[in-house]
Amino acid sequence: MARIADTFARLRTEGRKAFVSYIMAGDPDRERSLEVLRGLPDAGVDIIELGLPFTDPMADGPTIQAAGQRALAGGMTLESTLGMVRAFREENDETPIVLMGYYNPIYSRGVERFLAEAKEAGVDGLIVVDLPPEEDDELCIPALKTGIDFIRLATPTTDDARLPRVLENTSGFVYYVSITGITGSAVPEPSDVAPEVARIKAATDLPVIVGFGIRDPESARGIAEIADGAVVGSAIVSKLAEGGPIEELLAYVRSLADGVHSG
């Protein structure tokens, strides 16, 4: 679990917050997706969330749903997603990669096999949005035993009675979903988010990263000022879908990173 913990330790030493970016593996195709993946660290990304394409992404908004469909149409699978991680690790052994997706593809492959392959490929953490804490024995506990962080989501509806259960086996960091609803929702207001971040931080020593709805350097900076970092997903995926030069996409990512790092 060293990469995620080491990244946050380094950022604390530098007095900076964490910028976490999301892309869908294989969107719009494997070659372009891998080129973007490899370019993210130089664009200022501290931790990469790599989406695992799935046919029924119930928590995702239309932007990420469409990205998953493009990836699946191009033949992207769990195996080829892990292959992307391996290819990335040939050039970068420092930037953490967190796979984000749903349990069905993992279950279909077999938990033990998947975890062994993910660890070997260089995966550092998992976010599996459809496995609640009551199902920790399914994947969370085995992942932790394998040395892969299991990152949990907290939301505005995670009350004080529920929060301890959510945090019980969480590791790496806590992902606070700032807005109730699907990905790509409205821009969060830092003044609304700050009390929730403080409430979570009072219950855990883990970093709290805030995502959903961040689209520009200003909103990224505002969130970074009240949390340990910010996640941008749908806005990056949307830019990628426009089909412009990858250099322009990475310049946009750099602007977001600069916003977070100045927060």
Examine the residue annotation and report whether 149 is marked as an active-site residue of this protein: no
H helices then E strands: how many in the chain?
12, 9
Amino acid at 194: A
Spatial distance between the Cα atoms of 235 and 240, rounded to a whole number of angstroms: 9
The Cα–Cα gap between 105 and 115 comes to: 12
> What DSSP state is assigned to residue 89?
H
Structure tokens at 148: 């892969």
- DSSP at 203: T
List 6, 27, 42, 49, catalytic entry: 49
Residue 149, beta-bridge partner list: 125
Residue 228 annotated among the catalytic residues of the structure: no
Q: What angle do CA 51, 64, 107 make, to 5 degrees?
A: 40
Query: Among residues 146, 148, 220, which one has the least CA distance to residue 209?
Result: 220
**Token couple for 69:** 């469909």
Q: How far apart are CA 150 and CA 123, in angstroms?
A: 11
Which residue among 6, 29, 35, 60 is the active-site one? 60
Active-site residue set: 49, 60
